[in-house]
Amino acid sequence: MFRIGQEEIDAVARVINSGDLFKIHGGEVHEVERFQERFQEKFGVNHAILMTSGYGALESALVGMGIGPGDEVIVPAYTYIATAMAVVGVGAVPVIAEVNETLTLDPEDFERKITPNTKAVIPVHIMGLPCEMDKIMEIANKNNVLVLEDACQADGGSFKGKRLGTIGKTGAYSFNYFKIITAGEGGAFVTNDKDVFERALIYHDSSAIAFFGNQLKEADADVFCGTEYRVSEITGAIMNVQLDRLDGILSDLRRVKKTIMDAVSDVCAFRPSNDIEGDCGTAIPFAFESEEKARKFSEKVGGVLPIDTGKHVYTWWAPILEKKGSFNSKFNIFELEANKKLNVNYSLDMCPKTLDILAKTVYFNIDPNADDERIASQIKTIREAAELAK
């Protein structure tokens, strides 16, 4: 969480004082609806749904795109486990691909992993770092593969001037405590496709969509059983204020990051960026020749090696690697007849390139609220650490 304060308190108070906490009501406060409309306008998309989590947005997007049993979905080896679990959640099979030096999905390995069963790919803009979307879209379009952008760690970032999450068929965002804008928990789904939107809308809250208000008045899709990722007006109120803060947070993150990088570029190496201007600026990814040097540097600056981040690395995805798709074995997607011939040959060493890159990288997190004195101190520490890590 970067910035939150009295404005959010006042917004929540207005909702509570109104008594209209449920997002589908006849009162005057419509915070969720207002957020969705403002988000659509700001991000340049036709449809947006505010929901409970980034996971909910990913799963709803996959359902909206028609992904299910018998389908393979390519995901990067470096992403939070939720990306792969959302694929399992709709009955499809995640296929794990390498990341490259940019720490994002390697387009070449993505292309290598495509089979006749590949229906979608989920490029992840990890740590606010943009994927190489031109190449990914080119490969996907050539092979009739749908693209779901996981922008859960990249709220507001961009690639060549276009907001991350709006380039593919669908996009997903997260607003939990650790993200650029936050309501503690939350997420959003976006698309320009009306049919995909309607199916995601029904899936994300099938009980309320069918029976509360007139949410399906302009929809052509048939109602089906889904789940419940609905949020309250309190979440909507907080997110409306957070949306106002987004561009300021991004501007300061990028300013601080650039200041530090410019000041240490003569003694440090960085992971390359697919679009440094569109990068969210949440962290500087330092690059090293060995894990030993990376750890020496990290210890001095208080950084973190992505190889140590647990469930962000595929080797920690026990439910996936062990093919435990559900508690009840009868619901286990890996045992479904439609999935038995798909690419589920998982192993701990299946993505060696990814593991090598993650072990030789150090993230230094950026504070958008840092003043000049603190920035100067950080620069001094980084330069000293770089000397120790030679």
Lowest-pLDDT range of 186-195, 211-220, 292-301, 362-371: 211-220
pLDDT score of 390: 81
pLDDT score of 314: 98
Kindly state the average pLDDT of the residues 53-62.
98
- Report which of residues 241 and 206 the model is more confident about: 241
pLDDT at 220 over 90: no
pLDDT score of 223: 87
pLDDT score of 43: 98
pLDDT score of 383: 97
pLDDT score of 15: 95
pLDDT at 316 over 80: yes
pLDDT at 125 over 90: yes
| Phi, psi for residue 153 in degrees, rounded to 5 | -110, 20
Q: Report pLDDT digits (tens) over 68-81.
A: 999 999 999 999 99
pLDDT score of 150: 98
Q: What is the CA radius of gyration of the chain?
A: 21
Q: Which residues are 119's β-sheet partners?
A: none
Quick one: pLDDT band at residue 275, thresholds 50, 70, 90? very high
Lowest-pLDDT range of 66-75, 152-161, 187-196, 209-218: 209-218
Tokens coding 384: 């000293």
Lowest-pLDDT range of 17-21, 27-31, 149-153, 320-324: 27-31
Kindly state the average pLDDT of the residues 309-319.
96
pLDDT score of 274: 98
Q: Are 269 and 287 in contact (CB under 8 A)?
A: yes
Q: Report pLDDT digits (tens) over 160-206.
A: 999 999 999 999 999 999 999 999 999 999 999 999 999 999 999 98
- Report which of residues 348 and 343 the model is more confident about: 348
Kindly state the average pLDDT of the residues 333-342.
93
Kindly state the average pLDDT of the residues 253-263.
98
Lowest-pLDDT range of 101-110, 214-223, 264-273, 286-295: 214-223
Quick one: pLDDT band at residue 1, thresholds 50, 70, 90? confident
Q: At what angle do helices 6-18 and 233-264 cross, to 10 degrees?
A: 170
Kindly state the average pLDDT of the residues 30-52.
97
Quick one: pLDDT band at residue 287, thresholds 50, 70, 90? very high
Secondary structure in 3-state letters for the chain: CCCCCHHHHHHHHHHHHHCCCCCCCCCCCCHHHHHHHHHHHHHCCCEEEEECCHHHHHHHHHHHCCCCCCCEEEEECECCCHHHHHHHHCCCEEEEECECCCCCECHHHHHHCCCCCEEEECCECHHHCCCCHHHHHHHHHHCCCEEEEECCCCCCCEECCEECCCCCCEEEEECCCCCCCCCCCCEEEEECCHHHHHHHHHHHEHHHHHHCCCCCCCCCCCCCCCCECCCCHHHHHHHHHHHHHHHHHHHHHHHHHHHHHHHHCCCCCECCCCCCCCCCCCEEEEECCCHHHHHHHHHHHCCECHHHCHHHEHHHCHHHHCCCCCCCHHHCHHHCHHHCCCCCCCCCCCCHHHHHHHHCEEEEECCCCCCHHHHHHHHHHHHHHHHHCC
Kindly state the average pLDDT of the residues 245-268.
98
Per the rule left: phi > 0, alpha: psi between -120 and 50, beta: everything else, 193 is: beta
Residues with Cβ < 8 Å from 356, sequence gap 6 or more? none
> The whole model's pTM is what?
0.96
pLDDT score of 273: 97
Kindly state the average pLDDT of the residues 89-104.
98
Q: Report pLDDT digits (tens) over 365-388.
A: 999 999 999 999 999 999 999 998
